Structure 1
Amino acid sequence: MTVGEKIWGRRNLFQKLFLYSFRMFFSNYQSNRYEEGFLINKNSEDKQFENVWNGVRIKPRKLKMQKIKLDWKQFVIPLCLLVAFGIAYVSFFRHTETSRMHDFDPGISDKRKVSIYENMIDALRDENYGSSVGYRKRAETNHIQCGRVLSGDTEYINTLVGENRIPLIENRLLNMSCPAIRDRIHPKNRDFKLLDSGIAFARIVYTDYEFIEKQLEMSWHPQNVFCFTVDKKSPDEFISKMQKLDECLENVKVLPVVENYDSSGHNMNVGHKRCMKALLPNTDWYYILLLQNHDVIVKSVYEISRIYSLLGGVNDVHFGKELDERRVPGLKWDPKSMHLFRNESGIDKKVLNEPMRVYSGAVQVSLSRAAVKWLIEDVDVSIAIEQFNRTEYGGDEQLIPSLYLNHEYGMPGHFTDQCIDYQGIDQITRFVQWVREGINGCPTKSFRHGVCLIGIEQFRALSRMPFITVNKMVPSFDYSIIECTSELLYNRTFLSQMDHELDESFYKELLHVKYHKHHKDPGYKLDCSSNQNPSKYEYYL
């Protein structure tokens, strides 16, 4: 049964319950007026008519009181049911109507499968398919001409969207030997130039192994290091494949599978903290990028390294005011009670005893090595994480933003909450489109967990954006955008393609970058205004 059928089934159930309540109410109302033996003389001028009820002649007022005593349940209960199901009906479909019409359904029609398999067969028949020269596409996307999409060929793009979108078809015979894995991720014929400094990647995963492997391929460099934590609820086959990466690649760590993660954010901070601790002994990286399953890298390793050099040590964290109901009431949030500082000597008593100012943001952040060292060695965030973890939804999005903006805590690369209402670009780590303006605000007209799904029609705009990652690209929705993005990064990395030059001045002028550079200068005053455009998709079309 599809998502739409399930929702329509619920709609029919609500309709039946609503109509049943209405009929009960109406029938009881009618019976109270016209019940057999209950006669009303409407022609009596003084309204003092008589009634006959069960053969007894009584006055109307007395009859009315007896009827109320006997029949109130038949009248009130249907009325309450009518109101309750009416409210439920409206509330349910106000919440699900958009989902019914537009939410992403991973099912593939038979007609669509035939078209995809025909393209795969054509690719596999090509004697040059699978060549080790150049970028290697999957069979299902081998026919996609990414250059035409990048140039904005609307007529061609229209042949790749809607019913023509190309999902990833899982390779059930994927070779998981170490030589095969290494050949897919970093073939021997790829030459890497030296980075200014290596980059660390920490990603929490639970599904889509081949997608994860592709992201590893496009961010792989001998100087980079990678850490994965895997959801304990993931299928055994997925866990086994992830563990092979640890076995086969010396710069990849896959930590023991011990935690459950979910879309509400539980244990996300725990997983990322474990990765930060595991990667800290590797000394070649300057920044770490905290990611989740379907975050897609959209900058080459050289571009990312250069961007981090331009940040100059400041952390890159999305922030905003604390969202309501994101914390369990009654908990203590002062650093003293949370045992936040491992060594409290030298810490101002006011800082220790005042409650942490809590802010909301995002899990995806870029942290300097100094900040990671501080998080692991100088402070203990265990209690803070445990308390945020009690939140029903989104507690994981509050830890790093709160530490980042409570500048008095001394986090290296921190910012300040003086600009909490800042409307400019506060983060370049991740780009995301929320379904805040209705489904028509999503170019693909599809979403998941309140986030627009990214499709091939957005490729040209994404190639011009200043962000390091994009969320959310789902391989079972549209793999062509993932493939074309990967090919673009390959061309930038190994062929020196210059389709869009990195705007270094943009990064230098970011508010948190300027603050980090000058906040210790005598007489420095922070200006919370910005001359940069907000991070809207439309600006990059």
Structure 2
Amino acid sequence: MPQISEGLDCLKIISGERDMLTKIHLQNLKERIKRMPLSEKYFLNVTKDCNSYRSRRKFISYSMSKEEEEFPIAYSMVIDEKIEMFERLLRSIYAPQNIYCVHVDSESPVPFQQAVRGIASCFSNVFLASKLEKVVYASWSRVQADLNCMKDLLGSNVQWEYLLNTCETDFPLKTNAEIVKALKILKGKNSLESVKTPADKMSRWLFHHEIGKTVIRTNIQKTLPPVDVPIFSGGPYFVVTREFVKHILRDSLIDKFFTWEQDTYSPDEHLWATLNRMPGVPGSMPHHEKYDVSDLHSIARVVKFSFHEGDVSKGASYPHCTGSHQYFICIYGCGDLQWLVKQHHLFASKFDPSVDDMAIQCLEEYLRNNTLYKTET
């Protein structure tokens, strides 16, 4: 694991101590361009000796509790770049009883793909998806990547209970033991954002879109969707049961819905939300508005959008981002950690070591300490 910079105290950072946050801010300004991320070449070399690699990178090698051992979790990990960030994410959620399907963009650079394969080769429960997609931003291919992993995960020997999806800008806020407890509390329900579609997002599925290197809206109106519930709005992240996955891959009506969705814009931001409101879908909720679930009420992912940031005492959804923004989304800094670790969400997005590597380091330390010293037997 990366070494914590001298003089910096993660406990104080996560506690929100002002002097320490000022110190880390100044250090980030000095070191942002200094630290080079671990390269594809590094991982190709180090994974030649898997025993040494797993030990050196401090992967958990045994189930930490009987409860965790008896409740395996599946992960779909869709990635396309930043090999070190992927590996740090994998290490932070890794447990030997779980199973991990990694979908690499088929057009990712060859060294990146080779490095991912090298990492996966060192674990019996980590594998690359059997079918890789060229992932175009905001297109169906992003959904298809998760579907490919769903099929592979169902075909594995691991009888996992829930499926969670991630990308390389995510990082967990909970240990595996805490995730297991949170999933058990759901009692077979799914957890994801699903709300009435805002008027400004309806064009995403009302019109036909051409899919090329980008997604372009046309003026051609689409046919009505082949489902009997409204189209709901949500996010690309989900926490769903094994029975949910089985159902959506085998139901003929949902298969038609998949086909209908393939020329929409950002289908991952309305497909999962709608599936989880359909009658008969395992773990779903009724489609009455009283069952709407916002992103802040689901447990799948906490994301800070710049237009909802501000003074919480005056009505803002969450405090200001202390890192930076990309497409109106906060890339977290150390000053966000005190707020983040108090949230009930399992994961947060986005993190980027080039913006604030210390934020990731401190989360790694926080999770490792909780894993080793707070896990019940």
Counterpart residue number, 1:200: 74
Counterpart residue number, 2:223: 331
Distance 1:140 1:439, change over 3 A: same
**1:49-64 aligned within 5 A:** none
Counterpart residue number, 2:352: 474
Deviations 1:83-102 (A, max 9, x none): xxxxxxxxxxxxxxxxxxxx
Distance 1:480 1:455, change over 3 A: same
Bigger radius of gyration among the two: 1
After TM superposition, give the deviation of residue 436 of structure 1 in Å: 1.2
TM-score (norm. length: structure 2) = 0.82
Gaps of 5+ in 2: 208-220, 312-318
Distance 1:227 1:186, change over 3 A: farther
Alignment counterpart, residue 398 of structure 1, candidates 270, 282, 288: 270
Rounded Cα–Cα distance in structure 2 between residues aligned with 1:491 and 1:470: 19
Counterpart residue number, 1:483: 361
The amino acid that maps onto 2:54 is: R
Distance 1:396 1:284, change over 3 A: same
Distance 1:357 1:227, change over 3 A: same
Rounded Cα–Cα distance in structure 2 between residues aligned with 1:283 and 1:179: 23
Counterpart residue number, 1:28: none
- Confirm or deny that 1:371 pairs with 2:371: no
Counterpart residue number, 2:215: none
Alignment counterpart, residue 416 of structure 1, candidates 280, 286, 289: 286
Contact persistence 1:204–1:272 (CA under 8 A): yes
Distance 1:162 1:326, change over 3 A: farther
The amino acid that maps onto 1:496 is: K
Contact persistence 1:148–1:156 (CA under 8 A): yes
Distance 1:290 1:236, change over 3 A: same
Contact persistence 1:267–1:396 (CA under 8 A): no
Contact persistence 1:157–1:457 (CA under 8 A): yes
After TM superposition, give the deviation of residue 265 of structure 1 in Å: 4.3
Instruction: Give 1 or 2: higher helix fraction.
Output: 1
- Confirm or deny that 1:311 pairs with 2:196: no
Contact persistence 1:300–1:489 (CA under 8 A): yes
The amino acid that maps onto 2:336 is: Q
The count of residues paired between Structure 1 and Structure 2 equals: 340
Counterpart residue number, 2:85: 211
- Greater RCO (Cα-Cα under 8 Å, separation 6 or more): 2
- Confirm or deny that 1:454 pairs with 2:324: no
After TM superposition, give the deviation of residue 183 of structure 1 in Å: 2.3
Counterpart residue number, 1:170: 37
Contact persistence 1:319–1:420 (CA under 8 A): no
Rounded Cα–Cα distance in structure 2 between residues aligned with 1:188 and 1:428: 24
**1:124-273 aligned within 5 A:** 137-139=1-3, 141=5, 144-161=8-25, 164=28, 167=32, 169-172=36-39, 174=42, 175-177=46-48, 178-184=50-56, 186-187=58-59, 192-194=64-66, 195=68, 196-256=70-130, 258-273=132-147
TM-score (norm. length: structure 1) = 0.58
Rounded Cα–Cα distance in structure 1 between residues aligned with 2:256 and 2:372: 45
Deviations 1:220-274 (A, max 9, x none): 1111110111112322111111112332210011124631223324411101111
Distance 1:191 1:426, change over 3 A: closer
Distance 1:423 1:495, change over 3 A: closer
Rounded Cα–Cα distance in structure 2 between residues aligned with 1:286 and 1:488: 26
Moved more, 470-479 or 259-268: 259-268
Contact persistence 2:60–2:96 (CA under 8 A): no
Counterpart residue number, 1:463: 341
The amino acid that maps onto 2:12 is: R
Deviations 1:76-118 (A, max 9, x none): xxxxxxxxxxxxxxxxxxxxxxxxxxxxxxxxxxxxxxxxxxx
Q: Secondary structure at the match of 2:299?
A: coil
Instruction: Give 1 or 2: higher strand fraction.
Output: 2
After TM superposition, give the deviation of residue 400 of structure 1 in Å: 1.2
The amino acid that maps onto 1:218 is: S
Counterpart residue number, 1:347: none
Rounded Cα–Cα distance in structure 2 between residues aligned with 1:191 and 1:403: 33
Distance 1:225 1:189, change over 3 A: closer
Distance 1:225 1:258, change over 3 A: closer
Distance 1:312 1:188, change over 3 A: closer
Rounded Cα–Cα distance in structure 1 between residues aligned with 2:113 and 2:370: 32
The percent identity for this pair of structures is 22
Rounded Cα–Cα distance in structure 1 between residues aligned with 2:124 and 2:57: 12
Deviations 1:145-165 (A, max 9, x none): 211212322101111126625
Distance 1:236 1:247, change over 3 A: same
